[in-house]
Amino acid sequence: MSKIEKLSLAAGLFFGATGVILSAIGSHSMEGYPAEALKSFQIGNRYQVYYALFLLISGLLHSRCPGKLMNLSIFCTIAGTVLFSGSIYLLTLANIKVGMITPIGGMLLVSAWILLLIQVLLTKTQSKQIPSP
């Protein structure tokens, strides 16, 4: 297993585990929060879990579509998840406004999809050789 595969899988597992923990916190500890704050928290949490799955799939897909764009996609996903979901958590739980961090995180997440798409399209397919009789 390469370092980038290990990083992608470890980050995906970490984001998945913390996503479930934060979901439980949101369900049980945010009763006094405004409805809008709860809705924002749930969006950040949902995206964290989505991108945990994205990282797990990317880690498993890496050996089939290796390349710099795949690596960059993984880094964009990790950074984007931290910035996007993290900034929403800070805003809803601690009322810390971090300005333009959320959209930057969102753009990194969109970039990750595009980079992965390009890497997949650039990866040469292996044709199955039919053995001669």
pLDDT digits (tens, 9 = 90+) for 32-82: 889 999 999 999 999 999 999 999 999 999 999 999 999 999 999 999 999
> What's residue 31's pLDDT?
83
User: Which residues, at least 6 apart from 19, have a Cβ–Cβ distance to it below 8 Å?
Assistant: 45, 48, 49, 52
13-42 average pLDDT score:
92
> What's residue 77's pLDDT?
98
- Residue 127 pLDDT level (bands cut at 50, 70, 90): low
Given a cut of 70, whether residue 130 has pLDDT beyond it is no
> What's residue 62's pLDDT?
95
**Contact, 76 vs 109, CB < 8 A?**
yes
At 80-117, the pLDDT tens digits run: 999 999 999 999 999 999 889 999 999 999 999 999 99
**Whole-angstrom distance between the N-terminal and C-terminal Cα of the chain?**
37
Given a cut of 80, whether residue 133 has pLDDT beyond it is no
